[in-house]
Chains A and B, each alone.
Chain A
């Protein structure tokens, strides 16, 4: 009985820590993005609230919480209220399988730094990322607005198409690590991160991840200058905030998945593992922000063409070639 209580307590503490850290990280990622983008465009960015604008996220939060929650006329009310929550929850649930560090010992208890090390962790992540589409689709559909509807149709098609190449790009990694468990995949990269062994797979994965994160150059679901604000045009207040935060949490998750699959997870010299992990995740997030500051947006047909006729065949070929090579090198 005591053991069960301790295990339960450890899980609750881990959950609390992860939520606190990730939500703070998401809030400050917004600030970091605004600051970095501003610097790239020779502006200052937010610098009024607190020193260097450090309290800007808090101010934004208060603003969103106090705004009126508008439900447009003719909207499908329940779906409209339900969709933002779905977007945020599917983003947060993926965190359960992310390993932040190796197993450590606290008070004689073996505590792995992951909420739940599923042995189907990769599939869990892929499944949840396919559920993440629902938030956009339903939010846009329920708004009863043509911009939102167009944006959600676009978003649906885009996310479905790029999920395929993302899934295919994970296959060589699974074959190399011989496991679906994310902890095992990180363990397999102890000596050499997979990005050095599988550079082309990394490129495919990174491009699909960028498309999954719905950011420039793939931000067609919310292209401001054609669709007002895309699928969340009609949302206001904290419901918009949930979409917004969900997007940044999604960015952190995709960053951690890139780190786990290709950049060696928590492995690194000198510094403690958790620091290396966060450092790599923030590095990936910085590249996303950098891309936003640099690239123009795709046209919709170019996006579909690129996803289905370029990325997919290359990813398939990569799986076949890498798999064939693996079988050959095993002497099978």
Chain B
């Protein structure tokens, strides 16, 4: 039952991932990308990470992709004449296949096992995923967290300066 659901979702995710790469109109690409994000959010729920699923929908589908669509609409790229052709498909295919093969070999080298941490599915359900993430984020990873917030601040300032008509 669960495995069937996994295969269904995986098929949708790969198909929409393929559409992200191949569709002609940028808005269609964006919609396909949204489908992939939603599928991935489903996978996160199946992996006992509901908080990450919610964040995935909010940040990726709700904010980042929205910004992309906003830019496409603002520049009206849908009607602009798209440049014909693409960069060398053959070499890109070879390279992508190489990467996929590499991943396949790494995965096939051996089962990832023998290491078991203290966090199990039951524990996540009992304590709450948000609590676990928060505890980890605000104790062990406090410095990276602060650096990430500074990064966001820098990004905001940078975006405003770059997009201004004249500096």
Segment with Cβ contacts to A, from B54-62, B84-92, B114-122, B135-143: B54-62
Quick check: A180 and B130 within 8 Å, CB to CB? Answer: yes
For chain B, which range describes its interface: under 10, 10 to 19, 20 to 34, or 35 or more residues?
20 to 34
Quick check: A138 and B27 within 8 Å, CB to CB? Answer: yes
A71: CB under 8 A from chain B?
no
Binary contact track A205-230/B, C-beta < 8 Å → 1, others 0: 00000000000000000000000000
B42: CB under 8 A from chain A?
no
In A84-119, the 8 Å CB interface with B consists of 118-119
Cβ contact of B73, chosen from A127, A128, A130, A149, cutoff 8 A: A149
Binary contact track A119-156/B, C-beta < 8 Å → 1, others 0: 11001101110110110011001100000010011001
Quick check: A130 and B130 within 8 Å, CB to CB? Answer: no
Q: Contacts A133-B66, A138-B31 known; A123 to B73 CB distance under 8 Å? A: no
A9: CB under 8 A from chain B?
no
Least CB distance, A153 to chain B, in whole angstroms = 5
Q: Majority SS of interface residues in chain B?
A: helix
Complex formed: what's the CA distance from A215 to B20 in Å? 34
Quick check: A130 and B31 within 8 Å, CB to CB? Answer: no
Cβ contact of A131, chosen from B28, B50, B57, B67, cutoff 8 A: B57
Q: Contacts A123-B58, A141-B78 known; A156 to B130 CB distance under 8 Å? A: no
Q: Could you list 15 A-B pairs, sorted by A, with CB under 8 Å?
A: A79-B27, A119-B50, A120-B50, A120-B54, A123-B54, A124-B54, A134-B34, A137-B69, A137-B70, A141-B27, A141-B78, A152-B73, A153-B70, A156-B70, A180-B130
Chain B residues proximal to chain A, CB less than 8 Å = 25, 27-28, 31, 34, 50-51, 54-55, 57-58, 61-63, 66-67, 69-70, 73-74, 76, 78, 128-130
Complex A-B, nearest 4 residue pairs according to Cβ-Cβ distance, in ascending order: A130-B62, A123-B54, A127-B57, A127-B58
